Structure 1
Amino acid sequence: MKKWVKKLLVGLGVLLVIILLANFGLNIWLKTQLPNYIKNNTDYKVSYKSLEVDLMSGNILASNISVNSKNPQNVNVIGLQGTIDTLKISRFGIYDALFNKQISSSDLLLAKPNLNIILAKPVDDKTGKKRNPVNFENIRIRKGNISIFKYTKQKFLSVEDLDLYVENLQLTEKSVEDRLPVVFDTYDIKGKNFFVRPDDVYALKIDSIKTSDGQMTVNNFQLVPVLNFEQFKKYYPKKNKLFQFAIKKMEFKDLLLRKNKVSLANARFYQPDFLVYTTDAVPVKVKKPSDFELNLENIKMSNATIQVMKPNGHKLLYAKNFNIDVSQLKFDKETREELIPVGYKNFQVSGRDVLFSNHQDFTIGSISLNPKKGELRNISVVPNGNAPDKTSMNLASDYIRFNINKWDFADKKMNLDINDILVSSVKGKIIAGTDKTVNRKKQDFNGIQFPIIIRKVVLQNSDIIYSKNNQPLSFQDLNATVNDIQFINKKDNSGIEAKISKYVVSTKKFGYKTKFYNMTAGFLKLDQNTINVTAFAMKPLVSRAQFIRMIPVESDLYDITANQITANGTWDLFSDQKLIRASNLTIRNADANIFRSKIPEDDPKEKPLYSRMLRSIKIPMVVNNLNLKDSKLVYEEDTPESAGPGKLTFGNFNMNVKNLNSAKIKGNPTRVDIKINCSFMNLAPLSVKWNFDVADQGDHFAISGRTTNLPATGINPFIRPYLHVTATGTIQEMLFNFRGNPKGLSGKFNLKHKDLKVTILDKENNEKKGFLTAVANLLVKSDSGKLPEDVDVEDVERDPTKSFFNLFWKGIEQGLKKTLIGINIDKAKKTTEKAVSTVKNVKSDIKEMETSAKEIGQAVKKDPQKQEQKEKEPEKKGFLKGVFKKKEKPEAN
């Protein structure tokens, strides 16, 4: 053997002996002196029954250990108090323990520990000094009862019968406040009666936890507030939510807690009960967003109950039997910036008896939803009386179903493309709100990627009433299909507008009730190119007498029916750029009765002409041809002096209006031409031509017409109540041609008549006034001759508070006066009235003369000289008698 080898072996042997002697001596020293050393050089007092230390490996084994903090009031170190049946430490850092006062080990085994641990005070962020005197890579606990307290002595965590294996466990007060209370790599745990109080508001309780093959089961999980709701509002006035959770059972596997990240897979939550209280507080905006991250590979929630309470204690949201299945749910730095701060691969949601309540209660019998489709059944909406001035709905629907092409969130915006929506059997009423003080704030739509697309919406078999200002609009058996809807942001960002490509709306019974009318239709169908209405009726709800009492000023009362109304063309009635362009609008078999009473006061408002009225329509509108066919128009007018209403009848009424427009379509002609052909008083043909230009700011118009072979008796129903006159004979032809503007009209008038006679009646229209009738017929020309001359109708002034037809009638009236009827009857009346006035004056004079004669006779009897004088004047007496007799004859006539 070589000399150096021998020396090496001797050296190693000596070293081994020294190590063995040192290890033996160390164990003797540890058994006898370590407790005192720990007591003198650390913050703890330790005693034990046995202790074995392997200096080479750093392994320590001790039994029946008792440990206590020397100074429980020292909050800068972890406080310990309790017993441990067996302690085993692998690779103990003896050097760190002796010189750095830091306990570290690769493995720690605690058998039957019964410990109270008080965490050290949190790290001083200004200095950056760490106070973490305990560091174990791996820890095993068997049958442990452990309680952990914050440095304030408030319990933070406790557990009983704990069996635990954790790799790389970290637990400090620093991690409690800023991150997770505990973090580790892998684990195996079993225990009961867990308690965690992470802050001053909540406590977490768990009956039992156990793991098997990486699968964790948690029974009776509870997150409960340690404050009641009133205390919460008092002590935390800036927080707006208080939570309370209870979950009967949770199962999951592969739990990973690392710094700010929680990861787990295949989580199952059975019968969770979530309760959230809300306050009126405005939440304080967090300056620094949380770094917390959550990754759930698969999560399922079964038979959940969810409640969100309003500040007044009423329910805001309620749902039971709620089921949720989400795959790859995550919450991290990327998702928290999106509109919905969680990401997912897929989800399935279902539930029953869902309630949402604001100023109305929305209930859903059942709901099913996933990223591709959704279905709601037995939906109802009812007012709850909390906001009577807001729009309210009292509706019920069998179901709502929809299919989604695309629904995702990217770049902080929602992208939505819905394939179709089906709404079935909506029944009920919508009442428009009356609150005019609603502050319409400018809405922010930055979270939406426009356009929002809905490719098809179908409404089936619905009965809906919409009421505003007590004027209900009703639809029975309403069906509608709307295609290619695009919701876009308005250019001024004031809201959203809809663009609709195609639609079809139909209802078998339509109704609209106002203060005075009930409008109905037997059938109504509308699409973007056609309108079809049958059995239209507009019926008064009040009698004429009631109507007169109800209106403050003059107004017309209508009674209208029409068998059919049709239209074709193109129109946009839904977007902000509304447009009506109809090629034809036809009304067939209309029967219209218009009644006006002159008993109420005149309406002082200015009545614009039709060109100005059309020009005031805000949307572009044009109807190339409006046709009124085979119809009837009756106008009745009543005055305080008339005996019943006067009546004008236009039978077999046909009208064509060309280019009815609002002068708002560039390049489109603006002149309106109207042609009317009808039977006047159902006796004689009447034709009228009328035109005006809507774009003409001067509102000029022209109207002309002709009627022939009209029996004068035909106009008696109109002139008799007003003029107290009837006529016989024939109006062979009447022509008029007027031009005018808002100030008045002028033109030509011609009347050809034969055998015309009139009868003057008393105010009750019962008895003939013979004398006035005789005088009137002496003045009226019974025949006009073969070629009567036109008369000029001039300077007919318009009353701006009267309608166009009032001006038109004034023109006809002046023409009649200048030709025959009006002026001659006026002269006859004036002449007769003058004669009657003269007779009355003469009669009065005679009475005065008789009175004078009597006075003279009485004076003569008293005075003989006057008597003698009286006897000498017999002629005067006879003269008076003669005068008297002559004056009485006209009065008798």
Structure 2
Amino acid sequence: MDKKYKILLYTFIGLFVLFGLVFFANKIVKQKIKTGIEKELTNSNVEYKDITVDILKGSSVVSKPSLKLGRAIISSEELRVIDLDYKEYFSTKKIVFDRIVFNKPEILITPSITPKANKDETSKKDFKEDIKIKHLVIKDGQLKITGNDTLKEGLYVSLRNMDIYDLHITKQSLKNKIPFNFREVSLDSDSLIYSLDAYHDLQVEKLQLDKGLLNISNLKVIPKYSKVEFDKRQRIENDRFELDIPVIKLKDFTWGFNGDKLQLESAETSVENASFNIYRNKLLPDDFSIKPLYSKKLRELETKLKFDKIQISNSNIVYEEKSLEGKPPGKVMFSKMDVTIANISNLNMESQDFPKSTLTAKAKFMGESNLNFNMEFNVKDPEDKFNFSGNLAGISAGAMNSFLKPALNIEVEGEISSMFFNFYGNNDNALGDTRLQYHDFKVEILKKDGVRKNKILSGLANLILKNDVSNKKMDQKNIEATRDKTKSFWNFLWLCIRNGALKSFL
């Protein structure tokens, strides 16, 4: 036989033997890797339909996996393990999960998930060791946190893309509300729905979190009922909310759990073009529950917060109050609001240099008057001391009547040229000063039809008004107000200003 043909024959035989060895080695290694993964998954409480292994690509695919982690159940169309570390496997007999991809998973978290298992099954399913995943990827998934597997009583979030880095699962972490620890999370969601209470839903159109920057688009609080239907369902006074915020941005945003409590932090939060509508029916029975001031609310809040700066720009608030049967509600409006809030926190309150919370606001009051308002309080102060001050320039009778007439059956004439107020208070009382300037001021008390004037009562009211001091600045010192603790802080603020105004008018 020719020498070159011998070489070709030997080469062909050698390649055939080599490929045969590779084939059988591949089959043996695949089986070993598959057995190793099956063992890891069994120890990790994972059920599945099938496993395939590709050692050339260094990947494995688990079909129809279902994983239980504490109070969470994760089921998926497919779980793909990428970049298997064979060296680690052959040296330690452990599979190293470098990157895992969940395709179309559904994550369900409930207070209790499954009935108690027998002792043999429980011991078999317990975690034998820690599980570490360097990079977990979720694609086209959804998260549900519910009380009884009903969306209306919990949270729904679409998980278009989610990346979790350095995920770590331990026996201890399984006891937490989030059953794993992690270093960093990035998220891209195109839908979030949360039931705030029996009467309001929270919806977010888009939510993106990447490297500490959280962007929220089109956040809305939507009432579940119309005003008429809402009133029918109330036994006592209650607020109906409508909130629309096109843009919220949180810089240096972090979240996690402080013990068993959710913790949220942000160095700077911006809110743009918000619209907030509040409606209350004062014809319903009073709510006599105690209303804590903001400092106490924050101090005792279950969620831990640290928001260094919150900037609200070009936003509006409308408050509607129904006080007379058969009449439309009175309205108080604040527009073009620019608000800066600093140091909203209930973390590290034991610190000696724990900062005061401050609020500075500018707005148009009733669409025409320039309003400036300042406030400060200390969250950790058990006496709940606070200070608020501000000034209001130029409000006409027409603007005041849009609230006074439907709410109190009163019309006024004239103008308040300016008002200044400054009060210091606590949970019990307040003391402060006011300055009021007005001219041509008259009061008309209307009859029940809201049209005809009650001439006798109107005459008596105008008789005691100090119209002879028109255009003079009326300074009032040491104005006192006692807080009704069944009312809100804003009722207390109004009581302080009202007491000062009445002393100037009368």
Bin of the TM-score, shorter chain as denominator length: 0.7 to 0.9
- Give me the whole-angstrom Cα distance separating, in 1, the residues matched to 2:297 and 2:230: 26
Offset, 1:775: 3.4
Which deviates more from structure 2 when the two are superposed, residues 469-478 or residues 596-605? Answer: 469-478
Offset, 1:721: 2.4
Q: Deviations over 1:641-694 (max 9, x none)?
A: 683322110010111001111142646532011001000011101000100011
Offset, 1:621: 2.9
1:643 to 327, 333, 337: 327
1:550 to 224, 229, 233: 233
- Give me the whole-angstrom Cα distance separating, in 1, the residues matched to 2:428 and 2:334: 28
- Give me the whole-angstrom Cα distance separating, in 2, the residues matched to 1:810 and 1:716: 19
Mapping 1:42-53, distance limit 5 Å = none
- Give me the whole-angstrom Cα distance separating, in 1, the residues matched to 2:114 and 2:454: 62
TM-score w.r.t. length of structure 2? 0.79
Equivalent pair of 1:609/1:803 in contact (CA under 8 Å) = yes
Higher RCO, 1 or 2 (CA under 8 Å, sep at least 6)? 2
Equivalent pair of 1:350/1:368 in contact (CA under 8 Å) = no
**Aligned pair 1:368/2:52, yes or no?**
yes
**Aligned pair 1:453/2:132, yes or no?**
yes
Offset, 1:609: 0.9
- Give me the whole-angstrom Cα distance separating, in 2, the residues matched to 1:539 and 1:499: 34
Equivalent pair of 1:642/1:721 in contact (CA under 8 Å) = no
Aligned to 2:204: 521
Aligned to 1:751: 436
Q: Deviations over 1:753-812 (max 9, x none)?
A: 011122211123122223333333333233644442322454422122221111111112
- Give me the whole-angstrom Cα distance separating, in 2, the residues matched to 1:813 and 1:682: 21
Q: Which amino acid aligns with 1:348?
A: K
Q: Which amino acid aligns with 1:697?
A: P
Aligned to 2:445: 760
- Give me the whole-angstrom Cα distance separating, in 1, the residues matched to 2:263 and 2:221: 26
CA 1:815/1:377 → structure 2, altered by over 3 Å: closer, same or farther? same
Mapping 1:185-264, distance limit 5 Å = none
2:296 to 612, 621, 634: 612
**Aligned pair 1:625/2:305, yes or no?**
no
Offset, 1:409: 11
Aligned to 1:432: 110
Aligned to 2:63: 377
Q: Which amino acid aligns with 1:610?
A: Y
Aligned to 1:346: 32
Aligned to 2:9: none
Equivalent pair of 2:440/2:470 in contact (CA under 8 Å) = no
- Give me the whole-angstrom Cα distance separating, in 1, the residues matched to 2:116 and 2:433: 58
Offset, 1:456: 0.5
- Give me the whole-angstrom Cα distance separating, in 1, the residues matched to 2:285 and 2:436: 34
Equivalent pair of 2:138/2:159 in contact (CA under 8 Å) = no
CA 1:793/1:639 → structure 2, altered by over 3 Å: closer, same or farther? farther
**Aligned pair 1:508/2:190, yes or no?**
yes
- Give me the whole-angstrom Cα distance separating, in 2, the residues matched to 1:674 and 1:474: 33
CA 1:521/1:618 → structure 2, altered by over 3 Å: closer, same or farther? closer
Offset, 1:733: 0.5
Q: Which amino acid aligns with 1:808?
A: L
Offset, 1:475: 3.0
Greater Rg by CA: 1
Question: SS at the partner of 1:775?
Answer: helix
Equivalent pair of 1:623/1:660 in contact (CA under 8 Å) = yes
Larger fraction in strand: 1
TM-score w.r.t. length of structure 1? 0.46
1:791 to 443, 458, 476: 476
Equivalent pair of 1:497/1:576 in contact (CA under 8 Å) = no
Q: How many residues align?
A: 460
Q: Deviations over 1:565-596 (max 9, x none)?
A: 00102423257486433211111000000111
Equivalent pair of 2:330/2:404 in contact (CA under 8 Å) = yes
Q: Which amino acid aligns with 2:318?
A: V
Name structure 2 gaps, 5 residues minimum. Answer: 1-23
2:141 to 436, 445, 462: 462
CA 1:409/1:518 → structure 2, altered by over 3 Å: closer, same or farther? farther
**Aligned pair 1:400/2:79, yes or no?**
yes
Mapping 1:148-187, distance limit 5 Å = none
Question: SS at the partner of 1:601?
Answer: coil
Name structure 1 gaps, 5 residues minimum. Answer: 1-299, 301-323, 328-343, 357-361, 382-389, 825-893
- Give me the whole-angstrom Cα distance separating, in 2, the residues matched to 1:453 and 1:685: 58
Equivalent pair of 2:446/2:454 in contact (CA under 8 Å) = yes
Equivalent pair of 1:476/1:507 in contact (CA under 8 Å) = yes
Question: SS at the partner of 1:789?
Answer: strand
Offset, 1:493: 8.9
Aligned to 2:340: 656
- Give me the whole-angstrom Cα distance separating, in 1, the residues matched to 2:89 and 2:367: 67
Aligned to 1:724: 409
- Give me the whole-angstrom Cα distance separating, in 1, the residues matched to 2:138 and 2:464: 73
Aligned to 1:473: 155
Q: Deviations over 1:280-331 (max 9, x none)?
A: xxxxxxxxxxxxxxxxxxxx9xxxxxxxxxxxxxxxxxxxxxxx9767xxxx
CA 1:492/1:722 → structure 2, altered by over 3 Å: closer, same or farther? closer
Q: Which amino acid aligns with 1:791?
A: Q
Question: SS at the partner of 2:252?
Answer: strand
Equivalent pair of 1:500/1:574 in contact (CA under 8 Å) = no
**Aligned pair 1:540/2:212, yes or no?**
no
Q: Which amino acid aligns with 2:101?
A: L
1:695 to 380, 389, 398: 380
Which deviates more from structure 2 when the two are superposed, residues 367-376 or residues 588-597? Answer: 367-376
Question: SS at the partner of 2:418?
Answer: strand
Offset, 1:531: 1.1
Offset, 1:464: 4.7
- Give me the whole-angstrom Cα distance separating, in 1, the residues matched to 2:132 and 2:33: 22
Aligned to 2:254: 571
Offset, 1:461: 2.1
Equivalent pair of 2:159/2:187 in contact (CA under 8 Å) = no
- Give me the whole-angstrom Cα distance separating, in 2, the residues matched to 1:599 and 1:408: 77
- Give me the whole-angstrom Cα distance separating, in 1, the residues matched to 2:395 and 2:337: 17
Offset, 1:553: 2.9
- Give me the whole-angstrom Cα distance separating, in 2, the residues matched to 1:541 and 1:493: 35
CA 1:495/1:554 → structure 2, altered by over 3 Å: closer, same or farther? closer
CA 1:497/1:705 → structure 2, altered by over 3 Å: closer, same or farther? same
Aligned to 1:421: 100
CA 1:467/1:420 → structure 2, altered by over 3 Å: closer, same or farther? same
Equivalent pair of 1:643/1:764 in contact (CA under 8 Å) = no
CA 1:347/1:483 → structure 2, altered by over 3 Å: closer, same or farther? closer
Question: SS at the partner of 1:811?
Answer: helix
CA 1:471/1:707 → structure 2, altered by over 3 Å: closer, same or farther? same
Offset, 1:520: 1.9
Q: Which amino acid aligns with 1:593?
A: N
Q: Deviations over 1:351-377 (max 9, x none)?
A: 9xxxx9xxxxx9855432599753123
Q: Which amino acid aligns with 1:702?
A: N
Aligned to 2:181: 499
CA 1:560/1:409 → structure 2, altered by over 3 Å: closer, same or farther? farther
Offset, 1:415: 6.4
Cα root mean square deviation, aligned: 4.0
Offset, 1:601: 2.9
Question: SS at the partner of 2:459?
Answer: helix
CA 1:378/1:436 → structure 2, altered by over 3 Å: closer, same or farther? closer
CA 1:663/1:518 → structure 2, altered by over 3 Å: closer, same or farther? closer
Q: Deviations over 1:371-427 (max 9, x none)?
A: 97531235689xxxxxxxx9897x8743211244456998xxx9664211101123x
Aligned to 1:596: 280
Question: SS at the partner of 2:132?
Answer: strand
Identity among equivalent pairs (%): 22
- Give me the whole-angstrom Cα distance separating, in 1, the residues matched to 2:178 and 2:108: 22
Question: SS at the partner of 1:456?
Answer: strand
- Give me the whole-angstrom Cα distance separating, in 1, the residues matched to 2:137 and 2:96: 16
